[in-house]
Structure 1
Amino acid sequence: MRIRLCLAALSLVGGAGLATLSTSTATAATCSDIDVVAARGTFEPGTLGFIVGDPVYSALQKKLPGKNLSSYRVNYPADLSLTSAAQGNADLVNHVRSQEAACPNQHFILVGYSQGANVVDNSIGISSDGAVVGSPIVATLPAALEPRVLAVLLFGNPIRALGKSVTGTYQSRTIDFCAKGDPVCESGGGDVLAHLGYTADADAAAGFAADKV
């Protein structure tokens, strides 16, 4: 019930945010130094995501002034349908593989919030099946691409409520924020509003990523 309330609250934020947000639109990346690939949360408005993606991208631009950054908004429904996260998983992997072929010197920072964290988890080989708005893995980034993923930035990650986390190859390059009481990522959490407060972690996430560049 708490998680449903949290998703409903995010839906209300989405309805309010769409009317006021005026950030620049995200486009498929050209051959920038670093492509920031962001998967937004369920019903989250904004270009890359009003709560996480947009503020993280802005913070990264400030932390990495000598780098040419581009952004990509993962193309998926970000709704409560059973295949939503799987569609995002497939699109993220397809985008990064396409960029790898077109831009041999490009690197990537992956950003995922809420359901978007499930999308990123799946894409790096950590299944979100069984988590809130999760899905089985349908595609993973090839091993040859792993060195080009500089950082993985996760917020309100639903697999954490299952006692799971990112392990293996990407573990040292991953920072995973779970606010105290957030029912989406903390088992038994009861603070619905905690899931909507991750904008406050944007600067810390960008700093972590900048240290990996």
Structure 2
Amino acid sequence: MRTRRIRFRIRSLCLAVLTVTACAAGPAVLPTPAASAATCSDIDVVVARGTFEPGTLGLVVGDPAFSALQKQLTGRSLSGYAVNYPADLSATSAAQGNADLVDHVRTQAVSCPGQRFVLVGYSQGANVVDNSIGISSDGAVVGSPIVATIPTALEPKVAAVLLFGNPIRALGRSVTGTYESRTIDFCAKGDPVCENGGNDVPAHLGYTADVDAAAVFAAGKV
């Protein structure tokens, strides 16, 4: 029942707040990452947006994070890839994102052998990233079983993993193992998506404030 309640509250709040934010912002100047990383940039920023999140890579986290990374990683070329998945409340949404993210990394590694990756996941998108690096989000809000993982041979190409409002944390899980030292995982106080017993739903929409810190972390890993 708690999971259903959280899903309903987040869906309602995200639709209302994000729509108002997007409309109020007007024609804001946002970074312009490539729709896909077809060219061989130095760093490919792969972003899985949150549930119902608008924006090129995501209004709350993805677009601001890409901009922050551009500022930190001066002298290096960046491309951006928006994980192709529904980002809705369907049972297979996160699994579709998981499959697409892994497929993208594998394809890019063949086309651009020297390219490295920064993986970014917000809310349901954090589930997508978790699964892709071998940490199951099954049982979490808008989570799913793992359907694909980044091959062991490609793990060194992942420079950093940036997670925001990660639903597995409400289950007491976190990123461990191979990617642990390359991961930073933000959970706002009271955010019910990532904090067990949290009841501050608007906290889940405040992660734009953390993207600069995330970019500094990533810059230290690239």
Provide the TM-score with structure 2 as the length reference. Answer: 0.93
Task: Please point out which of 20, 30, 36 is paired with 1:16.
Answer: 20
Equivalent residue number for residue 79 of structure 1: 88
Change (3 A) 1:128 1:87: same
Alignment-mate amino acid for residue 95 of structure 1 = H
CA contact (8 A) 2:33 2:81 kept: no
Query: CA offset at residue 14 of structure 1?
Result: 3.5
* Contact 2:95–2:147 under 8 Å retained in 1: yes
1:27 aligns with 2:31: no
Give the percent of matched residue pairs that are identical in Structure 1 and Structure 2: 73
Could you tell me how far apart the structure 2 residues matched to 1:5 and 1:106 are? 39
Q: What is the CA deviation profile of residues 100-121 of structure 1, one whole-angstrom value per residue up to 9, with x for unaligned ones? A: 0000000000000000000000
Q: From 106, 110, 114, give the equivalent of 1:97.
A: 106
| 1:47 matched residue in structure 2 | 56
Asked if 1:210 corresponds to 2:214, the answer is no
After the TM superposition, which residues 1-213 of structure 1 pair with which residues of structure 2 at under 5 Å, given as runs? 1-19=5-23, 20=26, 23=30, 24=32, 26-29=34-37, 30-213=39-222
In the alignment, is the contact (CA less than 8 A) between 2:166 and 2:186 conserved in 1?
yes
Q: Deviations over 1:59-87 (max 9, x none)?
A: 00000111100000000000000000000
Q: 1:53 Cα deviation (Å)?
A: 0.5
CA contact (8 A) 2:45 2:120 kept: yes
Mapped partners of 2:166, 2:143: distance in 1: 10
2:134 maps to amino acid? G
How far apart are the structure 2 equivalents of 1:13 and 1:33?
35
The whole-number CA distance in structure 2 between the counterparts of 1:161 and 1:94 is 28
For structure 1, the residue ranges without an aligned partner over 5 or more in a row are none
Q: What per-residue deviation string (whole Å, max 9, x for no partner) do you get for residues 109-162 of structure 1?
A: 000000000000000000000000000000000000000000000000000000
The number of equivalent residue pairs is 213
| SS of aligned partner of 1:212 | coil
Measured on the aligned residues, the alpha-carbon RMSD in Å equals 1.3
Query: Which stretches of structure 1, 4 residues or more, deviate above 4 A after TM superposition?
Result: none
- The answer to whether the Cα contact below 8 Å between 1:43 and 1:79 also exists between their aligned partners in 2 is yes
Query: Normalising by the residue count of structure 1, what TM-score does the alignment of the two structures yield?
Result: 0.96
Q: Unpaired runs of 5+ in structure 2?
A: none
Partner letter of residue 19 of structure 2?
Answer: G
User: What is the distance in 2 between the residues matched to 1:34 and 1:131?
Assistant: 30
Tell me the SS of whatever aligns to 2:197.
coil
Q: Distance in 2 between matches of 1:2 and 1:77?
A: 19
Change (3 A) 1:195 1:147: same
CA separation of 1:91 and 1:21: change in aligned 2, threshold 3 A: farther
Q: CA deviation at 1:18?
A: 4.8
Look up the equivalent residue of 2:204 and give its one-letter code. Answer: H
Q: Which amino acid aligns with 2:20?
A: A
